[in-house]
């Protein structure tokens, strides 16, 4: 988009009519969709003539150039952003955007409902539209048709906003953690310590990822909430599993360096130093 602000208009006014027409003719030969006049300035007659010849619309706004550029950049980034649609549930848990994925019928909506009852906020159920902004940001939203609604097997459609109030929902949220619900497989080895970081790829961006096995007796909503709390701590540099592993390694190293029999002698000493 070609933008003419105060500086550009003043420059054109400093040229004679022939030079002004020639400069505008060359500028409007480039391939762009329209011309925007900012600051409420009136476009020179030569600009209107050359734009008519080039079949380019001329738009005018009273907004100053820096503000207009910022607003246009934001609108274009949002409109032209790469997008995808996922079968999932997006929740705002303690300010962290958690995308819950898994096969149909695994219990994503029931888990989300339990989280809502615990005070967290629903962004989208069943269908989540995700768009990529900038280089590292994924924004999830809900389609307008299904916004605030949730489908529960045996109960049908419910309106979360009407049932739990406006504070139980929000329109969009950044995706910062993916939790995959999957049926418990007794033959499979699941993560026990959490030392290694896993990632889930969405629109060529990697998002922290957790596999959550579903089995009778496991409160999935609480586990997802704890996962969000743990991810918040990790993002601030507090990694519980690695801290424990480091402490264990130091303890083992100190034990290996201690002289043999030293611990046994200490145990034989009674209070006061007598044997």
Q: Which residues pair with 35 in a beta bridge?
A: 2, 58
Task: Write phi, then psi, for 213 (nearest 5 degrees).
Answer: -70, 135
Residue positions counted in the chain? 275
**CA nearest neighbour of 181 among 150, 223, 144, 238:** 223
How far apart CA 182 and CA 107 sit, in angstroms, is 9
108 carries an active-site annotation? yes
Q: Which residues pair with 130 in a beta bridge?
A: 84, 140
CA distances from 101 to 57, 61, 93, 119, 170 (A): 45, 45, 15, 21, 19
How far apart CA 134 and CA 142 sit, in angstroms, is 20
- Identify the active-site residue in 53, 83, 87, 250: 87
CA angle 126, 131, 132 (to 5 degrees): 140
Residues 6+ apart with CB under 8 A from 32: 1, 2, 56
H or E stretch covering 188 = none
192 carries an active-site annotation? yes
206 carries an active-site annotation? no
- Identify the active-site residue in 31, 55, 188, 192: 192
Q: In Å, how far from its chain's centre is CA 8?
A: 39
Q: Is the torsion defined by CA of 99, 169, 151, 185 positive or negative?
A: positive
**CA nearest neighbour of 171 among 150, 207, 143, 136:** 143
- Identify the active-site residue in 20, 92, 126, 132: 126
How far apart CA 177 and CA 207 sit, in angstroms, is 6
- Identify the active-site residue in 20, 92, 108, 131: 108
188 carries an active-site annotation? no
Question: What residues are labeled active site?
Answer: 87, 108, 126, 192
């Amino acid at each position: 988009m070609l933008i003419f602000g105060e500086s550009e208009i003043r420059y054109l006014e400093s040229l004679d009519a022939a030079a002004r027409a020639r400069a505008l003719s060359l500028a409007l030969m480039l391939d762009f969709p329209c011309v925007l006049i900012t600051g409420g300035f009136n476009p020179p007659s030569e600009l209107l003539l050359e734009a008519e010849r080039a079949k380019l619309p001329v738009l005018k706004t009273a907004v100053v150039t820096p503000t207009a550029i910022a607003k246009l950049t934001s609108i274009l980034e949002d409109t032209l952003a790469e997008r995808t649609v996922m079968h999932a549930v997006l929740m705002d848990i303690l300010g962290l955007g958690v995308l819950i994925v898994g096969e149909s019928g695994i219990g994503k909506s029931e888990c989300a409902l339990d989280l809502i009852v615990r005070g967290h906020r629903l962004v989208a159920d069943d269908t989540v539209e995700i768009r990529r902004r900038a280089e590292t940001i994924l924004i999830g939203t809900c389609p307008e048709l299904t916004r605030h609604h949730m489908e529960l097997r045996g109960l049908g459609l419910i309106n979360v906003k009407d049932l739990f109030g406006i504070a139980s929902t929000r329109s969009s949220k950044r995706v910062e953690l993916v939790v995959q619900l999957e049926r418990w497989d007794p033959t499979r080895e699941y993560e026990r310590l959490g030392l290694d970081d896993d990632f889930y790829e969405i629109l060529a961006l990697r998002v922290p990822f957790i596999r959550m096995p579903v089995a009778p007796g496991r409160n999935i909503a609480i586990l997802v909430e704890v996962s969000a709390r743990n991810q918040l701590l990790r993002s601030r540099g507090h990694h519980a599993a690695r801290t424990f592993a480091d402490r264990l390694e130091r303890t083992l190293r100190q034990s290996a360096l201690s002289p043999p029999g030293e611990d046994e002698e200490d145990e034989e000493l009674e209070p006061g130093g007598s044997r």
